[in-house]
Chain A
């Protein structure tokens, strides 16, 4: 399998404190790769570094073997490295369809034309509805985002990100804060998405990680402690000690 996303010796230093230190990460194309670790391990910071929302203090990041370390977050997104956020990030004042359309209009190069009427955007309605249908939100397409549940907002965020046709999809705690009833829907959604693109996800729910992920990287205090399959990680005594706690059985 080829490597689609790679971090080499990446560090992030906040005034002397290393949130991420000399992290090496290789994500195989077509895989679902989990980043796990206790709170404050640097998982979200690493996401920010990979998607260029944070500038790395040192190290390099490669997407499809091309060095993207010096690029901005928008450039990286246009290359196909797209992310969701830890706290649901949507456009609350827009309808669900319009949320997806924001991504579609940009992907189709129709976001800067101030001389064209708004109705030119209606050409994306069908595609937006298809994406909403994929995440089970088609019946709510005309509803305002602020009117739907948190679980549906997370699903909408994934639909909006999918509109960019990502090569690599980075999901930051996709089921955090969700009602238990909504979790299977999101798990199935991620499984379905993973058929078309590589997925990297930060997740605390280990049963979800076990069900979905091919590879797992454990971060502790900003450094990689272990990497392997879920079974290898589960059986690693050091990981259990650091992450789960001594005496805890998975």
Chain B
């Protein structure tokens, strides 16, 4: 009887896998159908910032490093992509790639300096370096200073995907977003991800076990920078403009806020956080109250009531339920 009962039970691990697959299917269906209900450009902006926040989360949530200079990769890649497409005649794909390449190099240069310090000093080093990058972009002739690079064309992707059409561009952005998220998923759920978790949990201990900790930190920093660059380059295709706003320190702060609101160290949290902040910005902009008041209020509520962020709290609740369920099943079997 016990054996029969055991066979009919679905093991908690499988239940969790089914739940994740159902969530994935629902998410994909939602992404496919969303342009029918919402303005595609708003959705594309949301996906770009969602990817940007998820990329930062690799460093912030999984690496345990508060990086305050990711605007350099996001905005810098946007400038490079915009210039490459507009002035050098690059296609959409190659434009994205050169933007990512820039972000990878910039990430390596910033990372190799910043990772030598921890905590507050790491954050301030990234901020200082990103401010230096900001003034470099401000002075560089190709960025047109405060005017930015405007009217960037949207070339066809692979010669036949018409990115000039908003709906076609939306599905292109969805595809790039999914590729970016898949890379993040792989990095988190890999031997390297396990190493990063160990480093975040106890850096001294990993050092005593022979881990050259700075190499791991640098690797995750560079991957995060590359994905931030991908998000920035994608944004150029959507808005056809690259400006100083994207490389300013406020952008670095805003993406940290998105990540915190959604849930640091969760896979989907930063995307949800980005959606929340952009929705507040979008729908509250028309009111007489400054939008920063609403965002600030949302942040204070988050810090006071659910410090793990929206997805972090849901995740913790689900884990508690699964654990309780698992104990109940064991008791029943006994």
Hey, which bits of chain A sit against chain B, CB under 8 A? 51, 53, 72-75, 77-78, 82-83, 85, 89-94, 98, 101-103, 105-107, 110-118, 120-121, 160-161, 164
Contact partner of B194 (CB less than 8 A), chosen from A85, A92, A118, is A118
B186 near A: Cβ within 8 Å? Answer: yes
- A77: shortest Cβ distance to chain B, in Å? 4
Asked if A105 meets B195 with Cβ closer than 8 Å, knowing A72-B212, A116-B190, the reply is: yes
15 A-B pairs with C-beta separation under 8 A: A85-B208, A89-B205, A91-B198, A91-B205, A93-B201, A102-B195, A102-B198, A110-B191, A112-B191, A114-B191, A114-B219, A115-B186, A116-B191, A118-B190, A118-B194
User: Which chain B residue has the least Cβ–Cβ distance from A101?
Assistant: B194
Interface of B is mostly: helix
A161 to B215, CA, bound (A): 21
> Is there an interface contact between B191 and A74, defined as CB atoms closer than 8 Å?
no
Contact partner of B208 (CB less than 8 A), chosen from A83, A111, A112, A117, is A83
B322 near A: Cβ within 8 Å? Answer: no
A49 to B18, CA, bound (A): 51
Q: Which of B196-243 contact A (CB under 8 A)?
A: 197-198, 201-202, 204-213, 215-216, 219, 223
In the complex, chain B residues whose CB is within 8 Å of the CB of A117: 186, 189-190
A73 to B211, CA, bound (A): 9
Determine the interface band of chain B, counting residues with CB < 8 A from chain A: 20 to 34
> Is there an interface contact between B187 and A114, defined as CB atoms closer than 8 Å?
yes
> Is there an interface contact between A94 and B192, defined as CB atoms closer than 8 Å?
no
> Is there an interface contact between A160 and B204, defined as CB atoms closer than 8 Å?
no
In the complex, chain A residues whose CB is within 8 Å of the CB of B192: 111-114
> Is there an interface contact between B191 and A105, defined as CB atoms closer than 8 Å?
yes
Contact partner of B193 (CB less than 8 A), chosen from A101, A114, A164, is A114
- A157: shortest Cβ distance to chain B, in Å? 8
> Is there an interface contact between A102 and B194, defined as CB atoms closer than 8 Å?
yes
Asked if A74 meets B201 with Cβ closer than 8 Å, knowing A113-B192, A117-B189, the reply is: no
User: Which chain B residue has the least Cβ–Cβ distance from A78?
Assistant: B210
> Is there an interface contact between A112 and B195, defined as CB atoms closer than 8 Å?
yes
A113 to B196, CA, bound (A): 11
Asked if A106 meets B190 with Cβ closer than 8 Å, knowing A89-B202, A112-B216, A114-B223, the reply is: no
In the complex, chain B residues whose CB is within 8 Å of the CB of A105: 191, 194-195
A107 to B204, CA, bound (A): 17
In the complex, chain B residues whose CB is within 8 Å of the CB of A91: 197-198, 201-202, 205
User: Which chain B residue has the least Cβ–Cβ distance from A107?
Assistant: B210
